[in-house]
Structure 1
Amino acid sequence: MEVIGFAWKTLRRRKSAFAGAFVALLCAAALVCACLMLLETGLRGTVAPERYAGAPAVVAADQYVRETVDKGDGETKTKAKPLSERAWLPESVVETLRRTGVQVVPEVTFPFGSFTGHGWESAALTPFTIAAGREPGAGDEIVVDARAGLRVGARLRGYRVVGVTAQALPSQDTVFFSTAQARRLAGHPGLVSAAGVFPALSEAPKGAVVYTGEERGTLEFLDAEQARVKLISMGGALAGTSLLVAILVVVGTFALSIQQRQRELALLRAVAATPKQVRGLVGGEALLVGVLAGLPGAAAGIGLGLWLHATFVALGATPANLALVVSPFPPLVALLATVGAAWVAARVSARRLTRIRPVEALGEAALDSGRLPWWRLVAGPVLLAGGAVLTLVLSGLDTEAAATPVTMLTALVWTIAASVLGPLVARVARLVPLPGTSGFLAARNLRATPKALASVLSPLTLMVAMTCTILFTQTTMGHAAQNQAAAGTRAAFVLPGAPADQVRRVPGVEAVTPVLRTSIRVGLDKYAAQAITYDPRTIDLDVVGGSMDGFGRGSVALSRTAAGHLGLGSGDPVRLTLGDGTPVALKVAAVYSRGLGFGDVTLPYELVTGHVDDPAGTLLVSAPTLTRDALAKALPGTPVLDRAQAAEVGAANPQVTFVALGLIIAFTAIAVVNTLAMATSGRSRELAVLRLAGTTRRQVLRMLRLETLCAVLAAAVIGSGAALVTLAAFGAGMTGSATPYVPPMTYALVLVAATALALLSTSLPARLALRTRPAEAVSAS
């Protein structure tokens, strides 16, 4: 307790010395807490039923693919993965339920523009009641919900409104058709989406599952279940990366803080303080700063988590009704991680100071030799070897789920290696020739304080490396996918949602290929898939094995990546599960190379068309004699895109990834500002001495700018190198090319931003320090 009391007095008297550590720990706690909230939402998040709220139980098909695996010793375990499309229920199950004497309300659900369509027979599931007009009859009659803003007699997408309900669901717009019309529009004859049962059942008929309580929400909102899976993977990877980045930043901040107080701590050793007492003092200070920063940081993390969730909802990555789980677990873990990181960072930073003799400690405080301690000489090569191993591993990963976390880890390990060997790097950086009086002073400072330069290089390198890695993995993937799609699309025009028969009748149209996008599973492994009627006049997959001639209902084509994973080649049989859970046995007709542009699996259109939720899809149209305007005129009301426009529309949206990983970029930027401001503020006595020696205020500021530019230059080279090695390995595995796609303007903006932050973080504290009279500054320090 005496040590904690002494540490508290130190904090109170030297607030500025610990301000940087406080800021770093507060941001770290907020970042880790927010990421853990996403992870917990994926693990424990639930969705309340809306449409099925009035039914005590809902019977539907199983919405999961299940596989039993052998654990050894005669034990088995069943694993399940969610389907990408809705699995439909045979109407025979509904009849079986009715024979048991319970009331059964079947329903079908299907997309109708921005609305969700249903048959009026299922209105009792919510329940919905008519507020104006009447129930829909046959033909073009519909009933809309209260939120639609339509009156009886209005028209919606060619249908006439004959009724308006008194109710509206919180997160979905609803339109009702007659029972027969809804079954026809749903496109699944003999099947229903689900059936509400009154009263609740304890056991479902064979081939069906009973959903009660919150399970009804899971059934109603299948996208919420898929979003939960994404949040688990994203939250876990982001939390792990954030924690590693936070530890690196905190260690660097405490190392700088200890370095600035080295003379003070050496004096304590000289007046008979034992190494244990000094370690206890430093550890106590770290614990106090960790708690003081961790508590508001964890609280801020809750707000950051709420903002992240709201942003994901706005981007369409997470449904609004998948509420963010707010519990004590993420703030508590963030607080413990913050305090632990602070304590370890402080003890590690003070380790050498407490192990050498007091006279040596005073000597090192007065003169920075830049000599590396033995642990850095050991850890540096080990980390370099680890980076090399991770780079080799990354170059062999060809799935995004596996490559993304390894990519971040690889860039981090290279950056940590550079930080550990920072003083050696600083020796090279200080050799840059600098002109003029200010340049002479800057060069002398760089040569005299390699450890100080290394402490500044660490966050700058981290920022450049992580920013380049995060940004350019996305551009590399997007560029490769667009190139493959552009090279393989022979059709001149792309028509989203157009009827194929109508387009084929247009004079001048040579070939029409309908395309559906879905996903399938082979076992439990998920693959992006497209369904097409193959025509070489509209699409070229670049077949490298087998042939697409005669591609039909019993065939499947695989990308080279998928074929390699599955160990299959042309002519091999394969069993897979369609998006709605339908198992099929097919034969591999061909293996192709353009999987990034067209998906890993290509299926016959007629096989898939009845197994997707939205059968609209797109059309690839070859019409050599027609212009875009001529085709648009022949198909009024139908959007007609050329290949370039279609590539832009079909490009993957990386906004969610940028928002999530952008937090890490922001944290590293804060670390840069924090560290440079600390380093400059800690040099107030040095700057005052220079003023007393006759150096002008302008010369001092120019000297600091030159030092900062040298640090930025070194960090840009090292950070860019770490990112380039990582991106080359990522590209080799994911795209087959070790040349990443780096837009020059984006890269230039990264360097400009790093330079601007560094100069701003140096200039402002320096100007504040130079406002004090030199004699007063020297005496105060």
Structure 2
Amino acid sequence: MIGIALRTLRHRKGAFAGAFVALLCAAALVCACLMLLETGLRGGVAPERYAGTPVVVAADQYVRQSVDKGDGETKTKAKPLTERAWLPASVADGLRRAPGVSRVVTEVTFPFGASTGHGWESAALTPFTIARGREPRAAGEVVVDARAGLAVGAELRGHRVVGVTAQALPSQDTVFFSTAEARRLAGHPGKVSAIGVFGTGEVAVPEGAVVHTGDERGRLEFLDAEQARVSLISMGGALAGTSLLVAILVVVGTFALSVRQRHRELALLRAVAATPKQVRALVGGEALLVGVAAGVLGAGAGVGLGLWLHGTFVALGTTPANLRLVVSPFPPLAAFLATVGAAQVAARVSARRISRIRPVEALGEAALDQGRLPWWRAAAGAVCVAGGVVLVAVLSGLRTEAAATPVTMLTALLWTVAVTLLGPLLARAAVRVLPLGAAGVSGFLAGRSLRAAPKGLAAVLAPLTLLVAMTCTILFAPATVGRAAEEQARAGLRAGHVVTGAGAAAVARVPGVEAVVPVLRTTVRAGLDKYAAQAVAYDRRVLDLDVTAGSMDAFGEDAVAISGTAAARLGIGAGDPLALTLGDGTPARLTVAAVYARGLGFGDLTLPYDLVTGHVDDPAPTLLVSAPGLAAAALRAALPPGAEVSAVTGGPTGGAAGGPTGGAAGGGANQQAAFVALGLIIAFTAIAVVNTLAMATSGRARELAALRLAGTTRRQVLRMLRLETLGAVLVAAVLGTGVALVTLAAFGAGMTGSATPSVPPVAYALVIAATAGLALVATAVPARLVLRVRPAEAVTGR
């Protein structure tokens, strides 16, 4: 059968071109996503600053917890810290006394503007040497690296440059201070961020310290790389699974359309005594050949797509440049096998009905499309509807974005699968209500055509519905959370100004300032679960968290306020104890003073400012200032040079929107990266729409030629096709919008407490307009090519 399948492909290239394109895109998308996943699992980070140090000792940068496996055994799980953990400086004294250790170098690391600050004591770790000038010796003196472009005597953020190094690190700008000044600026008295050990002896370290060698030094040096690895694992896995599900759905539809267009040919084979097994083998052989060719080319293209994705994430700042992309045979091989498997599944499903009918009925089946739904398809559709209802119920109970996002995509996909399976029934119902007859001769022909071939309309509806549903879900799920966060932050923020680069005391002394609240953003863990948190010196004249239980009057040094969502997740309330791990790994046992409602706008946890200030990498706070009647320009003029003042205008101020209070939804760069990755799925679905419509239009050459021979003009035929396409887009828009609204309502109910999603009218109109534009172009281009052939030649097939 492979030989026959090869000859079939050779003579019917157009019928299989659509399936080939769909499979090729699917292989590329799955391969690229798997490359991200493998990078997260196996990616290494080469050290830069610690490249010249054989052994680096540092505090454990993970939260660890023993979990009972249920059979008497325990398993230790670990999650990375979001801030750098620090070691007591006394550890270095013990290491100096260890046998075989020739030298021990301590260092502190802290942010200094866009650069990284260190004490000159640790210059030997790389090593750095002075090219011009001298080392820093007093407060106010700095040494910059060779890439800074500053000369000795220049000023840098209020400090005088006294030296320039001969070296510069590839991906970080370095500034050196005197040892005493660096430790003061780092804000961790008596502690160091790392200890470099030189010598030949084995290093023994106390509990809580970890030895790093090889590429492990890079992971210690670039803590954001470890966070990026975790993000790539979750993003790559979720996107690979979503891509594969979308690919199977698209490819099944494409193959079904291809088989339907060849129904007469396959029916003739049944009529001349071909067995069902032979017909399935023929279609399976065709799918195997197309799948192998598309899988090989698509897997190769997927490697390039993976490189592009990695480069894009680096440019967005979500992935460090030194987190090397892992390129191995696994992702292309897995993508190839998945593509071939999807092609086989699609072919078997598509050929099932034609291969099982009796030979005498085969030609009749080919000639007449009654749109009847096989029992197995109706049953599968009912199961998908039931599964969609279950997922909607599950989604409405999810309160965290990490848990809700993959379920949201799966919910939209499952409802779309249900629409695809029940497509012929939905198509027959739709053509009865479409007002095509009012559009003259072309409208009459379009209506008759759609009524005569409901399966053809159903084949077109599937990718169109998928495109509308997935695009609306991907675009409007973040908008739903963002709108709720903005509303909460706007309602709870009483400050009139946001100040950075100045001390709270200096701002409080300005005449007209009523209250100043310093804010730090961080992340803490309760057990292994991560929560966004803000640390504030609470003042109700600046912040109103909308307390629902307890009181902020009890908010003090050993207290914490918690959002209602986090309280429900943890099963605690006002007055209960709460054990936390701060961002740098420091344990804290606090008492819940209050439960508040505005968690999206202000973070899941609100901690005392004095508790957190010594446990973050960057202790410089954002100041929220209440100063009624004081203009931003007047406040700026009263502050020291370098202070920045902006007015709170009622726009996005909550953490979910990226504002000063540090809310729940994460950074804008991570959201952009997610949009880029999910945008590839939208692009793949758009390609499927163009592909399917082009195949459907090209496969109607005989029908269009017969209309021309019956006296229909070329313009009337083109207008008929446009009306059919617009009718299909209208039905798909209704179905896709319904799928998206059901999914977004459940998502919103869980994440924001409101089942009303945020759907900006302009953005929604652009989605529908883009879908309609794609569909019309995909119909018009092949239609014009088909109509160039003389009608008589098209009907006879010559």
TM-score by length of 2: 0.96
Whether the 8 Å CA contact 1:135–1:163 is kept in 2: the answer is: yes
Aligned to 2:743: 726
Select which of 642, 645, 649 maps to 1:640.
645
Say whether the 8 Å CA contact 2:508–2:516 is kept in structure 1. yes
Name the counterpart of 2:513. 509
What's 1:577 paired with? Answer: 581
1:590 correspondence with 2:590: no
Q: Which residue of 2 aligns with 1:392?
A: 393
2:490 and 2:652 in contact (8 A); partners too: no
Distance 2:628 2:583 in 1: 35
What pairs with 1:79-94 in structure 2 (closer than 5 Å)?
79-94=77-92
Cα contact 2:87–2:191 (8 A) shared by 1: yes
Please show how residues 704-723 of structure 1 align to structure 2 within 5 Å: 704-723=721-740
Q: Take 1:490 and 1:637, find their aligned partners in 2: how far apart are those partners?
A: 25
Of 471, 476, 483, 1:472 maps to 476
After superposing the two structures, state which structure 1 stretch, 112-121 or 204-213, moved more. Answer: 204-213
Aligned to 1:46, what secondary structure does the other structure show?
coil
Q: Which segments of 5 or more consecutive residues in structure 2 lack a partner in the other structure?
A: 660-664
Structure 2: distance between partners of 1:393 and 1:743:
26
1:14 pairs with 2:12:
yes
Which amino acid in structure 2 is aligned with residue 98 of structure 1? R
Q: 2:535 aligns with which of 523, 527, 531?
A: 531
Report if the CA contact (8 A) 2:95-2:203 is conserved. Answer: no
Q: Aligned equivalents of 2:568 and 2:482: distance in 1?
A: 22
SS at match of 2:553: coil
Deviates more, 1:636-645 or 1:554-563: 636-645
**Conserved 8 A contact 1:59-1:211:** yes
Corresponding residue SS for 1:385: helix
Deviation, structure 1 residue 237:
0.8
Report the alpha carbon displacement of residue 505 of structure 1 after superposing the two structures with TM. Answer: 1.0
- Residue 51 of structure 2 is matched in structure 1 by 53
CA contact (8 A) 2:486 2:652 kept: no
Q: Is the 8 A contact 2:67 2:74 kept in 1?
A: yes
1:72 positional shift: 2.6
Q: CA contact under 8 A between 1:497 and 1:619: conserved in structure 2?
A: no
Indicate if the aligned counterparts of 1:96 and 1:205 stay in contact, CA closer than 8 A: no
Q: CA deviation at 1:96?
A: 1.1
* Cα-to-partner distance string for 1:612-632 (whole Å, 9 max, x where unaligned): 000112111000121222222
**What SS does structure 2 have at the residue aligned with 1:11?**
helix
Query: Residue type matched to 2:105 in 1?
Result: V
Q: CA deviation at 1:638?
A: 2.2
Deviations 1:715-757 (A, max 9, x none): 0000000000000000000000000010000000000000000
1:386 and 1:266 map into 2 onto residues whose CA distance is 35
Identity of aligned residues (%): 77
Distance, in Å, in 1 between the alignment partners of 2:522 and 2:550 is: 24
> Aligned to 1:146, what secondary structure does the other structure show?
coil
737-746 or 135-144, which deviates more: 135-144
Letter in 1 for 2:705: A
What whole-Å deviation, never above 9, does each CA across 1:500-558 have from its counterpart, x for those lacking one? 11111111000000000001001111100000000000000000000000411100011
**Paired residue for 1:110?**
110
Structure 1 segments (4+ residues) deviating >4 Å:
none
Q: Which residue of 2 aligns with 1:5?
A: 3
**Conserved 8 A contact 1:492-1:621:** yes
Question: Which of 547, 551, 556 pairs up with 2:551?
Answer: 547
Name the counterpart of 2:662: none
8 A Cα contact 2:489 2:652, kept in partner: no
Query: 1:602 is matched with which residue?
Result: 606
Q: 1:693 aligns with which of 699, 706, 710?
A: 710
Per-residue Cα deviation, 1:169-205 (whole angstroms, up to 9, x for no partner): 1110001111111111111100000000012634323
- Root-mean-square deviation over aligned CA pairs: 1.1
CA distance in 1, matches of 2:511, 2:50: 48
**Relative to structure 2, which stretch is displaced further, 695-704 or 645-654?**
645-654
1:18-76: CA deviation from partner (whole Å, max 9, x where unpaired): 00000000000001011111111111111011001111100110000001111133211
- 2:752 matched residue in structure 1: 735
Distance 2:652 2:482 in 1: 14
Does the 8 A contact of 1:532 with 1:604 survive in 2?
yes
Whole-Å separation in 2 of the counterparts to 1:550 and 1:560: 17
- Tell me the distance in 2 between the aligned counterparts of 1:384 and 1:249: 19
Secondary structure at 1:775's aligned position in 2?
helix
What residue in structure 2 maps to residue 187 of structure 1? Answer: 187
Deviation, 1:639, is: 2.1
Corresponding position of 2:696: 679
The answer to whether 1:611 aligns with 2:612 is: no
Match in the other structure for 2:283:
282
Contact 1:494 1:646 survives alignment (8 Å): no
The CA deviation at 1:643 is 2.0
* Contact 1:91 1:190 survives alignment (8 Å): yes
Name the count of aligned residue pairs.
779
Measure how far apart 1:498 and its partner are: 2.7
Contact 2:517–2:623 (8 Å) recurs in 1: yes
Q: Distance in 2 between matches of 1:205 and 1:262?
A: 75
Aligned equivalents of 1:413, 1:212: Cα separation in 2: 47
TM-score, normalised relative to structure 1:
0.99
Please give the alpha-carbon distance, in whole angstroms, between the structure 2 residues aligned to 1:641 and 1:360. Answer: 77
Contact 1:555–1:604 (8 Å) recurs in 2 = yes
Pairwise mapping of residues 302-701 of structure 1 onto structure 2 (< 5 A)? 302-431=303-432, 432-434=434-436, 435-635=439-639, 636-644=641-649, 647=653, 650=659, 652-653=667-668, 654-701=671-718
Structure 1 gaps of 5+ residues are none
Report which stretch shifted further, 698-707 or 630-639: 630-639
